[in-house]
Amino acid sequence: MNESKQKILSALGYLVRQRRTELGISQEELGLRANLDRTYISGVERGVRNPSLTALVSLADGLGISVSVLLNGLEAEATVYNEKK
């Protein structure tokens, strides 16, 4: 996987984990709300999964937000990951 793609996926994972922890729910609970497996949630949060558009919609729904709100700040967060390396 190329480096820029990995940074974007890591940034997305960070945003998902941040929102989930703000809600005070576990990966398992988010999986139930989003109709996705807990291991899939874990993979997204670790930046090893590249979720499809439908999975992003499910994740956002499970987090109680829109996809646009979920992805808001993704580019800025990816830049932060870029600066860390």
Q: pLDDT band for position 55 (50/70/90)? A: very high
User: Does domain 3-79 match CATH 1.10.260.40?
Assistant: yes
| pTM, to two decimals | 0.89
- Quick: pLDDT tens for 14-26: 999 999 999 999 9
Residue, of 40 and 80, whose pLDDT is higher: 40
Query: In the structure encoding, which two tokens stand for residue 51, read together?
Result: 């979720």
Of the chain, the end-to-end C-alpha distance in Å amounts to: 16
Residue, of 84 and 57, whose pLDDT is higher: 57
Q: How confident is the model over 57-77, as a mean pLDDT?
A: 93
CB 6 within 8 A of CB 84: no
CB 59 within 8 A of CB 50: no
Q: Where are the domains of the chain?
A: 3-79
DSSP letter, residue 31:
H
- Helix, strand and coil content of the chain, in percent to the nearest 5, comes to 75, 0, 25
Q: Is the pLDDT of residue 75 over 90?
A: no
